[in-house]
Amino acid sequence: MDAAAHLEALRARDAAHVLPTYGRAPLAFVRGEGAALFDVEGRAYLDLLSGLAVTSLGHAHPAVTRAIAQQAATLVHTSNLFLTEPMLGLAERLAATSGWDDAKVFLCNSGAESNEAAIKLARRHGKRQHPDKVRVVTLEGSFHGRTLATLEATGQAGKHPPFAPLAGFVDTVPHDDVEALAAAVGPDTCAVLLEIVQGEGGVRPLPDDVLLAARAACDAHGALLLVDDVQAGVGRTGPWWSWQDSPIVPDAFTSAKALANGLPIGALVAHGAAAAAFVPGDHASTFGGNPVVCAAANAVIDTIDQEGILAAAGERSQQLFDGLRTLADEAPFANGVRGRGLLLALTLDAPVAADVERACRERFLIVNAVQPDAVRLAPPLTVRADEVELALSALRDALGAVADAQGQGTV
């Protein structure tokens, strides 16, 4: 079967039996290796999206594959009524990477669940101070999940109306307004929840003065500062966790996407008073801390640590940033670069990101139109220098093709 026929067969099955919650790209993949995805005909696509910043060690990494296979052949599930070595090992590794000796961890299955747990933790902490201390402050442009609580916390108003009325416990302020943030935090606030780099908001780093204002406001009102590191963590922006090269230290942070390199996982890591907020029975997850998933996550952390991947990713980040900066100077539509580490966006001077994404696919490059005027690039941390150059060349050609299609000339 050729790729087009394979795709149409899958689309028919999708339409017949899958709820239509996704707008899918016209591609189907059957295999992955490193930074490459392969269709049914064996054609390779360079994946500079990593499954939405998930496969940070690349597809089918041997260390992760080996850990999954060995654990699946040993013990798959026990529930959290019992202890397992992979779960405890992961909690210890997360504590070590955070640098918090008193860190405590809750494990679940996704980023939305980890943020839901963080909100519940903050409420528990707040209600011990007074019963009405339950409000959460978030920032416009943020994305924290699609459960009802995390949807309300997500600072993208267009996503809210289909599910209104929401609970009404979130106050959302502009992402760059220090005074509005300070004014929104008060005696009834239990937490400020933010991303150091807003991923779905267009790969937009928060200004340092906003981060400092959030920390000061939380300290002044006995609220918790929560960092959503679901997309920006596990080395994606440089250090293990995005807040580690910022001017603030949170009370708790969340992780998910890249933590198990493609297996479903989420984690909430807390320290200090936040780590003492939950008691047995306050929160739970049947599959949280699953031995197979935790074994994969342990392999991810060990591989990054033992192979010096954070340092190597820093070199690729600089190479990619410099290349995008050159495109911003020379290529049509491209006008800037923002982000950190290997979570970057090429910004555009017109709302043509979807056209650029499509043109890149035609050149066997996977990127993402994260906003109408921004193209997101989140390659594996293991991406090679030659792959970065190949991606930049394809992106340049794609920009030129979009310009040609709109009668604006080529690079």
The residue among 153, 156, 183 whose CA lies nearest residue 166 is 153
pLDDT tens figures, 160-193: 999 999 999 999 999 999 999 999 999 999 999 9
> Which portions of the chain are predicted below pLDDT 50?
410-411
The residue among 271, 403, 298, 389 whose CA lies nearest residue 350 is 403
pTM (2 decimals)? 0.96
pLDDT of residue 107: 98
Structure tokens at 300: 């991810």
Alpha helix segments (H runs only) across 35-110: 50-53, 62-72, 85-98
Dihedral sign of CA atoms 13, 18, 24, 27 in order: negative
> Domains of the chain, with CATH numbers?
3-61+308-405 (3.90.1150.10), 64-306 (3.40.640.10)
Q: Which residues pair with 192 in a beta bridge?
A: 137, 225
Structure tokens at 232: 């920006």
